[in-house]
Amino acid sequence: LFLSSQRDENEPPGPKPLPLLGNLLILDVNKPHLSLCDMAKQFGPVFTVYFGPKKVVVLAGYKTVKRALVNYADEFGDREIMPLFHDFTKGHGILFANGESWKEMRRFALTNLREFGKKKIEEKIIEETCHLREEFEKFEGKPFETTQLMNYAASSVISAIVYGRRFEYTDLHLRNMVDRANESVRLSGTASVQLYNMFPFLGPWLKNWRLLMKNLELDIKDISELVTSLRQTLNPQDLRGLVDSFLIRKQTAEESGEKNSLFHEQNIIFTVSNLFIAGTDTTSTTVRWGLLLMAKYPHIQDRVQEEIDQVIGGRQPITEDRKNLPYTDAVIHETQRLANIVPTSIPHMTSCDVHFNGYFIKKGTCIFPLLMSVLWDEDEWETPHTFNPEHFLDKHGRFVKRDAFLPFSAGRRVCLGESLARMELFLFFTSLLQHFRFTPPPGVSEDDLDLTPAVGLTLNPTPHKLCAVKRS
C-alpha cells in the first residue's frame, strides 16, 4: 500500500505521490477530469497520477489518445475492472469484462444489433419519439424536468431491441429499472464510492456502496424474471430480440454437449444489464443537454427549426433526412462535443508491457483516455470552450466531419452502441424540435440557465426545468 516516491525508470512523469494518499490532495475527486486536464498542461500528454495507492496513466489530447487507442489498439484495449465494477458483474457481460468472454459477448451483441436491422431499429425509435412527444404535450407548456421521461424513452428503445417489446412509461418494471439505474449512476460518481475503489476494504462501512449493491440485487432479480418469461414462450421461428437469440445459442450449446460455452445465465443477465446501463443515461443525458442548449441559445434554436420546417415540414423525420439537415446535424455533434458526458472514458488497462511515446508502461496499468481533452483540445477546435455549431460546418454551410470528435471513444473498446445512439440522438432531437419550442421557465432568463454539469458517473446537466411550448 505504501508508495515510494521513486518512479520506475522511463515511467511517464507526474506529480509526486504521497504514501497511501498518492495525489489525492491535488485531485478534485468529484471532478477528476478537470484536475487531470490541468495536469496535462503541466506534465504533457502522457502522465502518471496516483488515486490513493492506485496508479493511473492518463492519455491526453487528440493525437495521443487516437494513437494509443487506434495504433496500439490491443496494447491499450483491455478494461480496467475496478472493485466496484467487479462487484457488479464478476467479469461477465461486456462493459467490465476482458478476454474470450468479452470478445464473444461483444461480437454477439454487435451481430445482433446488425441482424435486427437498421430499418427495424429506426421504426422502434420513431415509435418511441411519438410516445415521448405525447408526454411532453401533457405539460401544456408549463415547466418540467425532462430527466425521467427522456430516460424512459431511451430505456424503452433498448427494451425493444433486447426483450422485443417497449414498455409503457407507467410500467413498474421500466420505472424501477430506470430509477435504480439513475440512482446507481449518481452514487457511482460520489466521493465515498470513489474512495471504495481505492480502498475496497471500506465497502461494508460505506452507505452508498451498500445502496449500490442493493440496487444491483434488485436489477438481477428483475432481469432474471423477464428472461424466464421469454424462455417460457420462446419460438425459434420468431425471435423477438437479443435475449431470444441468446437463449437459442445457449440451448444449442447445451444440446451439443458443448463444455465451457460462454452463453450461460450470468452472461445473459450482465450483457442485458450492461446494454441498459450504457445505453440509457448516455443517450438521455445528451438529448437533455441539446434541449438545454437550445433554450439557452434561442437564435440557434431558430435556425434548427427553420431548417427542419423547410426540409421536413410536418411529416415524421427519418434517418435519411440527416444529410439534408446539415445545421441540425452540426448542432447535435456540437452538443456531444461540448457536453462531453464521459470525460475520462471508461478506464482501460494495458494488456502487455508497452513502449509508448518514449515511455514504458507496465502490463496491467490502469489507463484513462481523457476524452474531454480530445473534445476540448485547443489545437483541434477553434473555440473549444463555447457552443459553436460552426465547428462542424464549412463556409458553404455543409456538414464536415471532424477527426477529434470522439465522444464514443475509439479502437477496440469503442462504444458498441454508437450507431444506435447516433440514430436516437438525431430522431429524438429533430422530432422534439419540430414540435416544441424549448424555453426557460417564466421569470428565468436564458443567461440564468446553468451549463455547469452535476457530479455523477456521466456529466449531466444540473437539475433544471424547461418549458416545451407546442409550435403551431
Q: Which residues bind ligand HEM (CB under 6 A)?
A: 79, 94-95, 106, 274-275, 278-279, 282-283, 286, 341-342, 345-346, 369, 407-409, 413-417, 420-421
Is 367 in a helix, a strand, or coil? strand
Q: Which amino acid is at 274?
A: N
Q: What is the dihedral of CA 224, 225, 228, 234, to 10 degrees?
A: -110
The residue (of 278 and 433) whose beta carbon lies closer to ligand HEM is 278
Cα Rg, the chain, nearest whole Å: 23
The nearest distance, CB 407 to ligand HEM, in angstroms, is 5
* Nearest alpha-carbon partner for 99 in 81, 111, 116, 85: 81
What are the angstrom distances between the C-alpha of 205 and each of 24, 143, 193?
Answer: 21, 40, 11
Distance CA 300, CA 393 (A): 14
The residue (of 407 and 456) whose beta carbon lies closer to ligand HEM is 407
The residue (of 15 and 80) whose beta carbon lies closer to ligand HEM is 80
Is 449 in a helix, a strand, or coil? coil
The nearest distance, CB 472 to ligand HEM, in angstroms, is 31
Q: Which amino acid is at 441?
A: P
The residue (of 308 and 406) whose beta carbon lies closer to ligand HEM is 406
* Nearest alpha-carbon partner for 129 in 335, 312, 296, 327: 312
The residue (of 407 and 453) whose beta carbon lies closer to ligand HEM is 407
231-245: buried (b, 16+ CB within 10 Å) or exposed (e) per residue? eeeeeeeebbbbbbb
Is 171 in a helix, a strand, or coil? coil
The nearest distance, CB 299 to ligand HEM, in angstroms, is 25
The residue (of 24 and 269) whose beta carbon lies closer to ligand HEM is 269
**How many Cβ atoms sit within 10 Å of the Cβ of residue 53?**
16
The nearest distance, CB 102 to ligand HEM, in angstroms, is 6
The nearest distance, CB 105 to ligand HEM, in angstroms, is 9
The residue (of 95 and 230) whose beta carbon lies closer to ligand HEM is 95
The residue (of 373 and 439) whose beta carbon lies closer to ligand HEM is 373
Contact between residue 78 and residue 348 where contact means Cβ atoms under 8 Å apart: yes
The nearest distance, CB 338 to ligand HEM, in angstroms, is 13
The nearest distance, CB 241 to ligand HEM, in angstroms, is 12
Distance CA 389, CA 171 (A): 38
The residue (of 14 and 417) whose beta carbon lies closer to ligand HEM is 417
What phi and psi values does residue 82 have, to the nearest 5 degrees?
-70, 155
The residue (of 73 and 469) whose beta carbon lies closer to ligand HEM is 73
The nearest distance, CB 286 to ligand HEM, in angstroms, is 4
Contact between residue 459 and residue 453 where contact means Cβ atoms under 8 Å apart: yes
348 beta partners: 79, 367
Distance CA 377, CA 370 (A): 11
Distance CA 325, CA 336 (A): 17
C-alpha cell at 303: 435556425
The nearest distance, CB 251 to ligand HEM, in angstroms, is 24
The nearest distance, CB 460 to ligand HEM, in angstroms, is 12
N-to-C CA span, the chain: 65
Q: Which residue is nearest to ligand HEM (CB)?
A: 417
Is 18 in a helix, a strand, or coil? strand
The residue (of 107 and 142) whose beta carbon lies closer to ligand HEM is 107
The nearest distance, CB 113 to ligand HEM, in angstroms, is 7
SS3 content of the chain, % helix, strand, coil (to 5): 55, 10, 35
What are the angstrom distances between the C-alpha of 462 and each of 27, 334, 453?
Answer: 22, 19, 5
The nearest distance, CB 83 to ligand HEM, in angstroms, is 18
The residue (of 106 and 166) whose beta carbon lies closer to ligand HEM is 106
